[in-house]
Amino acid sequence: MIARGWVRGVAAAVVACLWGTQALAAQAVEPLRENILTGAAQDEVAITATFSGSELFFYGAIERNRFLVEEELAPDVVIVIEGPSSPIMVRKKGRVAGVWINRQAIRVAAAPSFYAVASTRPLDEILRSGEDRRYRISLDTSVYILGIPTSAEDPEEFRRAAIRLRQSEGLYFAEPYGVELSDRTLFQTRLSLPANIVEGDYRARVYLVRDGRVIDDASIKIPVRKQGLERFLYLAAKETPLFYGFGTLLVALFAGYGASELFRRLRR
């Protein structure tokens, strides 16, 4: 806080100086150009045997060709973190002969396994809907159904249900004030990854928004990987399933028999 206060003080002083000289010169200011620079505190997330979620920390700065003049507002920053996308089946239960059974199903062509949007202010206050669709920023633009749905009456209901279910599992969320912008230049955000994420290449997209438009963007790849025992077991189960099956049986037999023999001896 002390450091930030100091930076703010200097920035204010510099701005005041510039403002003073410019006011003296009384001429039009140069057109503003802004770029975004960003980084993440970690290059990858490891899912280990005791994985219980993780926190992602992003930071960055807005680069400008000149200082902002007093009446120029700070831009907004939006950060989207997206997990690997895959098609999913969304099923709806219906009542048949007194019991509830899955009756309708629809295939959602693309649904990210994880989706978080953090921004300096709520998206609908800062972004035009055309821009939102173009850059696929809000959650609603990233989960969609392709083709002609067959067995469902109201496909939109299924799409919304998919979003709602993943929201309730903590896999989709929005943090409308989750990005902190200081001195109209430096930004940072912390987002938590829940424990139930799947592995794959996650991508963070960072957008600089001004007057409802995206004026610059950047992206970072963050691989999320199972590691150690988790990775070994997962790969074995997928790539050499017969070997995995035998291995599981052997370990289970050994552990089960060993433990019960141990107890038998202890009781004597």
Give the list of residues 6+ apart from residue 113 with CB closer than 8 angstroms, or none.
Answer: 83, 84, 85, 86, 171, 197, 198, 200
Distance of CA 161 to the CA centre of its chain: 19
Q: Using alpha carbons, select from 109, 111, 77 the residue that is nearest to residue 205.
A: 77
Q: Quick one: 173 or 234, whose CB is closer to other proteins?
A: 234
| Residue 196 interacting with other proteins (CB under 8 A) | yes
Largest CA distance in the chain: 98
Which x/- pattern, by CB under 8 A, does the window 210-239 give for other proteins?
A: ----------------x--xx--xx--xx-
Distance of CA 106 to the CA centre of its chain: 25
**CB of 48: closest distance to other proteins in angstroms?**
7
Q: Using alpha carbons, select from 197, 145, 191 the residue that is nearest to residue 171.
A: 197
| Residue 198 interacting with other proteins (CB under 8 A) | yes
Q: Which of 65, 86, 182, 192 binds other proteins (CB under 8 A)?
A: 86
Q: Which of 129, 165, 177, 192 binds other proteins (CB under 8 A)?
A: 165
Q: Which of 61, 161, 174, 181 binds other proteins (CB under 8 A)?
A: 161
Q: Is 42 helix (H, G, I), strand (E, B) or coil?
A: coil
- End-to-end CA distance of the chain, in Å? 66
**CB of 55: closest distance to other proteins in angstroms?**
15
Q: Which of 116, 127, 137, 162 binds other proteins (CB under 8 A)?
A: 162
**CB of 79: closest distance to other proteins in angstroms?**
25
Q: Interhelix angle for 229-239 vs 241-267, to 10°?
A: 130
Q: Quick one: 13 or 198, whose CB is closer to other proteins?
A: 198
CA distance 220 to 57: 12
Q: Quick one: 7 or 161, whose CB is closer to other proteins?
A: 161
| Residue 98 interacting with other proteins (CB under 8 A) | yes
Stretch binding other proteins (CB under 8 A), from 17-25, 37-45, 57-65, 257-265? 257-265
The bridge status of strand 76-82 relative to strand 115-119 is antiparallel
Question: At CB < 8 A and 24+ separation, what contacts does 143-149 make?
Answer: 143/108, 143/110, 143/111, 143/112, 143/115, 144/108, 144/109, 144/110, 145/106, 145/107, 145/108, 145/109, 146/109, 146/110, 147/109, 149/106, 149/107
**CB of 217: closest distance to other proteins in angstroms?**
29
Q: Which of 122, 130, 223, 245 binds other proteins (CB under 8 A)?
A: 245
| Residue 256 interacting with other proteins (CB under 8 A) | yes
**CB of 220: closest distance to other proteins in angstroms?**
24
- Name the residues that contact other proteins, by CB under 8 A: 47-53, 86-95, 98-102, 105, 107, 111, 113, 158, 161-162, 164-166, 195-196, 198, 226, 229-230, 233-234, 237-238, 241-242, 244-249, 251-253, 255-257, 259-261, 263, 267
